[in-house]
Structure 1
Amino acid sequence: MYLWWIRWCWMTEKMVVSRNTSINRLRDKAITDCKPTKVHVLADGGGLELTVKPIFSTNQASGEKVATSWNRVWSYRFIRPEDGKRTKMGLGNYPTVTLQRARELKRSAQELLSQGINPITHRADTLSQRRAKETEIPNTFLRNATDWFELQTKNVKSRTAQKTWNSLEKHVFPKLGNLPVAEIRNPLIREALSELATQGKIETIEKLCRAINSILEHAVVSDNLDENRCQRVRRLFQKKKVTHQLTLKPSELSQLLIDVEASSMTNVTRALFFWSLHTLVRPGEAAGTRWDEIDLPNKLWTIPAERMKMGEEHTVPLSSQAIEILNEMQKIRRGEFVFPGNFKAKDRPMSSQTINMALGRMGYKNRLVSHGLRALGSTILNAVDNDNGGQRRFDYYAIEAVLSHVDENDNARAYNRGGEYFNRRVVLMDWWSEHIEAASFKE
């Protein structure tokens, strides 16, 4: 009888030890009732276990540490298929992960093991894929346009880039923005711009077509698009009538110079006119000339990229005549700008429209605008022959570089750097100023 009682006690103890080999042995009540004073493992069978860890706090009355709460964590023990080693994977905390859910997770892991798949590795891969999918930005036209715009703000004058972006937001993105970039085709673009076409806004359409093509080309080089199929989309719309800047014939240069000298222009306005003519820069670039852009010892004027239409730094070789204009302006210098506005606005340059208004008062309205001075210079420079006759004196690319026309051609780029090619621009600018000076003395 005594031996039977000992055996019964031993069997009872085996029923509550942690590593029970029975399947689905645990019950929720047994889990919640388990409040050990040290780490204890409850086995549900088949490798599923619940580790119960006491959390202690100090009894204020006695000062002793007592277990007041318990952390219960599910885990599944198994043998790794790749190397046969024992390991375990966490399944979450009880009761967030219920007993039933823990058993489901165990069965899923067992199914993977039956296929030779490590459930830990599989879970990590699945989680990575889910996170990647959640964080993946759809390859839409708008996404590629946003990336393109970030580059534009670095490479092009910020104000110009922003105007283009505003136009895209207004006319293009509402219809094309959320479409996959690979779906962008000519018919969709034509539909998006149809209202502008009806309104006859051809210039806006041209700019938007250029921007759309540039965005699609950016998508191609970014490996977001296989091919830009919209390169000829501009042909779907009416062409803009070409209107050239108002300018004069080369033979009229002499009379223009006489009229300017005889006009009622202020000295600063007259100086700005001749500065524009001698340097052949754009009206806004000339009017905004700053003293800190001028390098008198080296006879150079460097216009920063943010002031250039094409967003690239432009260096102008200064002739002796151009230097003389600066010397005269130095005598009345009153701020950071070479051609300051009125005395009430010393911190602002003259308006880019100043020359246009002065020419209008001189009787040149509808005949010449300040931008036309560049066209006049280009016509004359392109027509000059060598002294030995037959060939043009100045290289086409040198003239284009003087006019700051951006060209991806390597020959054109060479004229914007130092060395022999840049020196050819120096010679060209000296000749041009001498030609202007000679024309001013013709009767």
Structure 2
Amino acid sequence: MAINTLTDNDCRKALSNNGKLRKLFDGHGLFLAVLPSGGKVWRVAYRNTDGKQQTAVIGPYPLIGLKEARDRRDAIRLKLLDGEDLKPKPKVKPSITFDVAIAEYWAGRTDISEGYKANALRGLAMHLSPKLGGMLLRDITRDSLMDALRPMDAAGLSVYVRRVRMWASQVLDWGVQHGHCDENPASSINAKVAFSRKPREGFAALAISEVHPFLERLALEDEIQSVLACKLLALTWTRTDELRRMTWAEVEGDIWRIPGKRMKKNREHLVPLSTQAQALLKEMKLRSRGSAYVFPNDRTGNRPMSENSILYLIHRIGYKGRMTGHGWRKVGSTWANEHEFNTDHIEMQLAHKDGGVRGVYNSAEYLKQRRAMLQAFADWLFKHSSTCLA
């Protein structure tokens, strides 16, 4: 390879190539770059320790003459021969473990309920921490995350595995923002494709003709908490999660005021309480053990009852696959429609949006009409007893 091919005269007279960059090579990677603007800069082409093509800038001509440019080129060559990288790799920022990231991220989530946070923490601890908890966020890959998620999918937890992936993705997103990792591998997992899917099924619900036989069977049970919760669910047409997180502070006489943060549509919902519902709550107050929850957890009053308590009760009395806690909403809606109650009143009581109720609504809308409807339903539901506690 020819070296030192340029002269001072070549450098002084060099012009750009019709407004385009022009390179005049001197050997061993050194060249004079004549810019479209007419300026001239000394540069050196080389390969770094990884074998990648790189370019180092020596400085402008004529401030740096030909001889000095060659001296600097040779100095660069010596550094390369010694294994020195002219562009050192940026220092890797310190990372934290996945378990530490989980704790820090969810501690900062003050915009969600404590119940939702507890569910997320429990899911991550049970299913991801055993394999990933001690790993640095920076070291977690898509493959390692999938390895931790696959057993859930194989066990038939096709819905729950998607939630856990989502919760992990939120933690990893937080890690990226705080410099603990460079990317979120969970974001590249397409849950629709990666995990199995079960056929969508509606919530099982009794036919109207089956309701009273069901209640007769339920009456054979002791008045345990799940039995009373099942009855209140029937009397209010609320969702199971809304009922199990019900607190005494939300009960205002004959009204249950559910805050928007606990509602599916994030809107406050007022539920009229029939005389039967009020009698049931009076009974629960005697059993409350000082808990803020109307239906506290059996082990600790600081948490609500288990999300599956009502469903397990229904299964135990022989109605598995035929009825669910959520099914009371369908029972109530069917009964009210058959008795020709106003569709808007029914949809309002179910806290639906844009169905019978058109657009955003006031939480107290149709309260008088809904009160009458729920009382009529309660009287029909427990027509053989003066209260729902018999």
TM-score for the superposition, normalised by structure 1 = 0.45
More helix by percentage: 1
Larger Rg: 1
Q: Which has the higher contact order (CA 8 A, sep 6+)?
A: 2
TM-score for the superposition, normalised by structure 2 = 0.50
